[in-house]
């Protein structure tokens, strides 16, 4: 499959569906799987991915911002609940109501805000309260008593879920995740004992699903990376990984030119690459503006004519130069693989991330807006 664009990604809907089904199979029928489609579904296209998940029967999607939630509703995603994990700011309150989005709330003051919003709009807004159990990012650090006192004075909005997020789920050399769960459970228990019924408890994302932290699965998990085919490696004595997911995205770029350069020739800005022998080089029509990390200059690799070959010289905004000395088969207009597989040769976001000094999430989310998304 090939498409008439300089740089494009091929996204397999079927692979995303398979990954989603695999997550569901791993957590079992008692646990809801919320599909995380924030950040344009990690570069895969939030609307397309949401449609796939809806077709697979997903009841929940999660996004980061109200804006992302509105985008899904306007794109025709009406069948699912949408949890806005980044909560809302005052100017976003009306959109929350109008588009039936469910906010994650991270402070007692925000419970009062959402309660006023519910009262003023005459809509019984449901919300999920995020607990800061030790991540030290979003989430309330209030005690169960303080939360209960606030619930008692806010009768219009409805507490539907309690959630938290793990800081070190992949790290089996620390007790941080167990400590976070203990904190979360003590708050949930106190709220339950006070007679407040909460439908959803959720704490786990891909890593806590993959490595089987079943005590963190509760009634719902939030799966992002796994849907796109990745589970980050664990540290320390981790149990076996349960998920069987595969990347759904292949990233291609086309050659604009192929040429021979003599020994001693310099390549690219700053002359950071010098040919130690006569070489054949290819110039790709994609650069850092497309999401190829500048850090991959003289470091990264691509797959060309079935072989892994180096990126040479400095990556430019719109152009990247590669070594094509191993092949005469490629010419202008032919494509190479920036991420994906040719035959048995693979290059995935985790490998690219290691070379670029970042994480696989960062690689996927950085694929530029001008890289065309093609669905197969």
> In the annotation, is 228 catalytic?
no
Residue where the block lists tokens 């979360």? 184
Alpha helices in the chain (DSSP H): 13-27, 38-42, 46-55, 66-74, 93-98, 108-121, 144-153, 176-193, 206-210, 349-356, 360-365
Rank residues 63 and 322 by Cβ distance to ligand PLP and give the closer one: 63
- Rounded to a whole number of angstroms, the minimum distance from the CB of residue 353 to ligand PLP is 14
Q: Which long-range contacts (CB under 8 A, 24 or more apart) does 215-220 make?
A: 215/181, 216/166, 216/169, 216/177, 216/181, 217/27, 217/31, 218/31, 219/30, 219/31, 219/32, 220/31, 220/32, 220/33, 220/34, 220/60, 220/161
Tokens read off for 192: 């339950």
Closer to ligand PLP at the Cβ: 140 or 320? 140
Identify the residue among 44, 51, 222, 252 touching ligand PLP (CB under 6 A).
222
200 in contact with ligand PLP (CB under 6 A): no
Residue 8's alpha-carbon distances to 137, 226, 282, 286, 311, in angstroms, are 35, 22, 18, 10, 18
Contact segment (CB under 6 A) with ligand PLP among 11-19, 223-231, 245-253, 346-354 equals 223-231
Which one among 87, 93, 224, 247 touches ligand PLP, defined by CB under 6 A?
A: 224
Q: How many residues does the chain have?
A: 376
Residue 6 binds ligand PLP, judged by CB under 6 A: no
* Of residues 125 and 223, the one with the C-beta less far from ligand PLP: 223
Q: By CB under 6 A, which span of 17-25, 76-84, 201-209, 292-300 interacts with ligand PLP?
A: 201-209
Size of the site for ligand PLP (CB under 6 A): 12
The pairing of strands 7-11 and 249-261 is antiparallel
**Per CB under 6 A, does 36 bind ligand PLP?**
yes
Contact positions with ligand PLP (CB under 6 A) in 82-111: 85
The residue range among 4-12, 152-160, 188-196, 205-213 that interacts with ligand PLP, by the rule CB under 6 A, is: 205-213
Residue ranges in 323-342 that form contacts with ligand PLP under rule CB under 6 A:
none
* Chain-centroid distance, C-alpha 33: 15
Q: Is 206 in the site for ligand PLP (CB under 6 A)?
A: yes
Taking the least distance from each CB to ligand PLP, the nearer of 246 and 307 is: 246
Report residue 317 as tokens. 């905004």
By the rule CB under 6 A, 205 interacts with ligand PLP: yes
**Alpha-carbon torsion 87, 90, 93, 95, what sign?**
negative
When asked if residue 252 is in the footprint of ligand PLP (CB under 6 A), the reply is no
Q: By CB under 6 A, what part of segment 126-165 binds ligand PLP?
A: 165
In this structure, the number of other CB atoms found within 10 A of the CB of residue 76 comes to 11
Q: Which stretch binds ligand PLP (CB under 6 A): 224-232, 254-262, 280-288, 303-311?
A: 224-232
Q: What six digits make up the tokens of 1?
A: 């499959």
- Check 8, 20, 38, 127 and give the catalytic one: 38
Q: Does 218 bind ligand PLP (CB under 6 A)?
A: no
Distance CA 196, CA 375 (A): 45
Q: Which residue lies nearer to ligand PLP by CB, 225 or 254? A: 225
Q: CA dihedral defined by 43, 44, 45, 46, rounded to 10 degrees? A: -90
Binding of residue 223 to ligand PLP (CB under 6 A): yes
Q: How far is the CB of 221 from ligand PLP (least distance, A)?
A: 8
Q: Is 341 exposed, middle or buried (0-12, 13-18, 19+ CB in 10 A)?
A: middle
Q: Is 269 a catalytic residue?
A: yes
Q: How far is CA 171 from CA 133, 168, 240, 359, in A?
A: 17, 5, 13, 15
Say if CB 109 and CB 142 are below 8 A apart. Answer: no
Q: Is 18 in the site for ligand PLP (CB under 6 A)?
A: no
Q: Which is nearer to ligand PLP, 246 or 326 (CB)?
A: 246
Nearer to ligand PLP, 225 or 252 (CB): 225
Q: Which residues are tagged catalytic?
A: 38, 269
Q: Which residues bind ligand PLP (CB under 6 A)?
A: 36, 38, 85, 165, 205-207, 222-226
């Amino acid at each position: 499959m090939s498409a008439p664009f300089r740089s494009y990604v091929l996204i397999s809907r079927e692979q995303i569906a398979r990954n989603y089904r695999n997550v569901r199979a791993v957590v079992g029928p008692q646990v809801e799987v919320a599909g995380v489609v924030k950040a344009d579904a990690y570069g895969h296209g939030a609307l397309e991915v949401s449609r796939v998940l809806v077709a697979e029967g997903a009841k929940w999607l999660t996004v980061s911002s109200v804006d992302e939630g509105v985008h899904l509703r306007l794109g025709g995603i009406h069948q699912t609940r949408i949890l806005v994990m980044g909560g809302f700011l005052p100017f976003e309150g009306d959109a929350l109501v109008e588009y039936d989005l469910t906010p994650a709330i991270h402070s007692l003051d925000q419970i009062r805000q959402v309660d006023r919003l519910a009262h003023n709009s005459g809509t019984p807004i449901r919300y999920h309260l995020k607990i800061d159990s030790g991540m030290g990012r979003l989430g309330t650090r209030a005690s169960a008593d303080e939360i209960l006192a606030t619930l008692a004075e806010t009768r219009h909005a409805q507490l539907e879920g309690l959630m938290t997020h793990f800081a070190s789920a992949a790290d089996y050399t620390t007790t941080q995740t167990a400590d976070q769960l203990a904190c979360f459970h003590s708050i949930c228990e106190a709220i339950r004992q006070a007679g407040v019924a909460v439908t959803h408890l959720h704490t786990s994302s891909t890593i806590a699903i993959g490595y089987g932290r079943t005590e963190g699965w509760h009634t719902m998990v939030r799966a992002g990376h796994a849907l796109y085919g990745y589970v980050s490696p664990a540290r320390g004595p981790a149990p076996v990984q349960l998920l069987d997911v595969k990347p759904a995205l292949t990233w291609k770029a086309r050659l604009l030119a192929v040429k021979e350069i003599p020994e001693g020739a310099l390549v690219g800005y700053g002359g950071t690459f010098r040919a130690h022998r006569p070489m054949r080089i290819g110039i790709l029509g994609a650069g850092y503006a497309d999401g190829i990390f500048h850090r991959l200059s003289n470091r990264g690799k691509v797959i060309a004519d079935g072989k892994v070959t180096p990126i040479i010289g400095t990556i430019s905004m719109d152009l990247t130069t590669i070594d094509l000395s191993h092949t005469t088969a490629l010419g202008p207009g032919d494509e190479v693989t920036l991420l994906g597989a040719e035959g048995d040769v693979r290059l995935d976001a985790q490998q690219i991330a290691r070379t670029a000094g970042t994480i696989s999430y960062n690689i996927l989310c950085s694929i530029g807006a001008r890289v065309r998304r093609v669905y197969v």
